[in-house]
Chain A
Amino acid sequence: MSEDNPQVTVTSERLQKVIQALSFASVDEFEQCLTLLQESDAQDEFRELETAFTIFVQELAEAKRQRERALSRAEAANRELEAKLETIEMQQAAIRELSTPIIEVWTGVLCLPVVGVVDSQRSAEMTETLLEMIVSKQARTAIVDITGIDVMDTKTADHFIKMARAVRLLGAECVISGINPGIAQTLTHIGVDLAGVRTMRNLRDALQFHLRETEQLAAHVKKDHF
C-alpha cells in the first residue's frame, strides 16, 4: 500500500460494537444504540465514522419522536371531531323530538304544545304521533295548545281540525286551546265544520275542563254504585 492511501486498523471488538449498534437502530432501540457508540474513546478515523453514525441516529430518533407526537395530535383531533359529529346527531334527534313533543300532564291527559313554524309535513307528523300516543297511553283527553302559532296555511289549519276529529274517533276528547284571532279567521274563512271540536281559551282552561269532566264521571260512577 502506498503512503497516499493509509490504512486504518480496527479491532474486531469495535467493529462488532458498530454492527450491534446498527442492529439496535434498525429496531428503534436508539438509547441502547447510542450508549454502545459512545463507549469508545479512541482517536482515529474510525472514531469519526462512529461520531457521524451517532449524529445520524440522534437525528433519526428525533424525527421519529416528532412523527409520533404529530400522530397522537392528529388522533386527538380526530377523536374530538367524532365527538362533535355525535353531538350534532344528538341535537338533530332532539330537534326531531321537539317538533312533536307530547307530554302526559296527568293520567290519561296528553298535551301537545305546538310552537314554531308549522308546515304540512310537521302537521302530518303531529297527527301520527298524537294518535299513536292516545292508543298506547290509553288517553281520555288530548290538549293541542297552539298559543305559539300566529299563522297557519289554510290547509294545515284544516288538517288540525281533522286531527281533532280523528282523536274523537279513537274514543278520546280533543281540546284545541290558544287559537289566536288570525287562525280563528282562517278557520272560519275556509268554512271547516267545527262541530265536535272543543276549543278553549288557553291551556289552563283546557286542563280545568278535563278535571271537571273527570269529577262528573267519578260522581256518576259513585251514584250508580250506591
Chain B
Amino acid sequence: MTFERRDPSIIRVPPRVRTYAVTKREDAVVIAPQARRFAVQFGLGAKRSAEIAIVVSELATNIAKHGIRGEITLILDDDAPPRGELTVIAKDVGPPIRDLAMATTDHYDDRGPIDPSLILHRGGLGTGLGAVLRLSDRFEYKELEEGKEIRARFFR
C-alpha cells in the first residue's frame, strides 16, 4: 500500500482581496490610507507601505480624472513566489492610454509635454504614472474590452 505524504507548507492560503469604487477625487484621500494599513499588516516596511499609499493615491486620482469611473483592487497574496506580493489593480471604463511610454514620462500626459503654465489649471504635474512606475516593482498595462487596467506589483 502506497502512502502519499503531504507537506503542510504547500497548502495555499487564498489571497485576500479588497475592492474600492472610485468616482471622485475624494475617494483617493479615503482609499490611500487604507492601502497603507493593509500593506503594514501584510508585513511590508513603513517606507514601502507609504510608497504603496502614494501609488494607490496616484492611480485613484487618475481614475477620477480620466477614467470616468472605476475601482481600485488590492490583492494580498502570501503565497506568490518567492515571498508573497501585494498587487494594486486600477481598472476604469475611460478611454485607453494612447501612448504609454509618453504617459509614464514625467511632465507628459499621453499626448505630449504638459505646458508648465497649465499645471495649475489641469490640476496635476503629469508625474503620476511616472511615480507609479518608479515606486512599484512591476508595472503592467492592459486594455480591456471596455476601459483599461493598470497593475502595480510590490514584492514582499
A residues sitting closer than 8 Å to B (CB atoms) are 92, 95-96, 99, 116-125, 127-128, 150-156, 159, 182
Contact = CB atoms under 8 A, between A and B. Distances in A.
Contacts of A122: 57, 61
Interface of B: 24-26, 28-30, 32-33, 36, 46-47, 50-51, 53-54, 56-58, 61, 65, 106, 119-120, 123-128, 130-131, 134-135
Nearest to A153: B131
A31 B20 CA distance: 57
A119 B24 contact: no
Contacts of A155: 106, 125, 127, 130-131
B29 A116 contact: yes
B72 to A, nearest CB: 13
B120 A128 contact: yes
Given A117-B32, A124-B120, A155-B106, A150 B50 contact: yes
User: Which of A119, A122, A154 has the most chain B CB atoms closer than 10 A to its own CB?
Assistant: A119
Contacts of B61: 119-122
Contacts of B54: 117-119, 151-153, 156
Contact of B128 (A99, A119, A127): A119
Nearest to A149: B50
A122 B58 CA distance: 9
A156 B26 contact: no
B47 A156 contact: no
Nearest to B59: A119
Contacts of B28: 119
A121 B120 CA distance: 9
B127 A153 contact: yes
B119 to A, nearest CB: 6
Contact of B47 (A96, A151, A159): A151
Contacts of B127: 120, 153, 155-156, 159
A35 B81 CA distance: 85
